[in-house]
Amino acid sequence: MKDLLAAIKDAMRGEMDSINIYKHALANTNDEEVKAFFENRVKEEKEHYNYLVDHYSSLTNDKALKKIEFTEGENLIFSENFKRRIGESQILFSAISVATMLEKNAFEFYGRAAEKTKDIQMKEFFNKMATWEKQHYDDLLEIAEESEQYYWQQNRFEPF
């Protein structure tokens, strides 16, 4: 039980890190499409955090774990304007880069936690969280890759 509670606390810290990165990016853009993206990510990461808080509370108070309803992520399509705005802003491009690493850490962490736990409900929960975070990672990786050309143009990088 001690290891499980420690794992949940680690996950809570990771979710809070993601929330803060997304909030920082949100505060550094005026573009409505970019704002909408980061607002949605803040909302989703807060949901993840709250699920973890609920599970932690249930486990420490010997209560039944609540069933959590997960919604499947939609396949996002990013406009050229969105990718340009990300690539042209050092703060936004850095936020995407850091968030990509955080999401990778998260889905790998949840996958390992699912493998380690013997509790069926917690295994299901961690697997769902891993799937959700993997979708975030895939989205961010796509944004980073497609925004990179604008980043290099903005910074006047020209290969030799």
Q: What confidence tens digit (pLDDT) does each residue in 90-131 have? A: 999 999 999 999 999 999 999 999 999 888 888 998 999 999
Q: Decide: 29 and 128 in contact? Cβ < 8 Å.
A: no
Q: What is the pLDDT of residues 23-37, one digit of tens each?
A: 999 999 999 999 999
Q: Does the pLDDT value for residue 13 go beyond 60?
A: yes
Residue 160's pLDDT is 44
Phi-psi region of 112 (alpha: psi -120 to 50; beta: other; left: phi over 0): alpha
Characterise 57 by phi-psi region: left (phi > 0), alpha (psi -120 to 50), beta (else): alpha
pTM comes to 0.86
What's the CATH architecture for 2-63+76-154?
Answer: Up-down Bundle (1.20)
Q: Phi/psi at 98 (nearest 5 deg)? A: -65, -45
Averaged over 68-74, what is the pLDDT?
Answer: 64
Average pLDDT, the chain: 89
What number is the average pLDDT over the span 37-51?
93
Q: Return all residues near 110 (Cβ < 8 A) that are at least 6 apart.
A: 11, 126, 127, 129, 130, 133
pLDDT confidence of residue 78: 85
The pLDDT of residue 149 is 85
Using the predicted structure, report yes or no on whether residue 74 has a pLDDT greater than 70: no
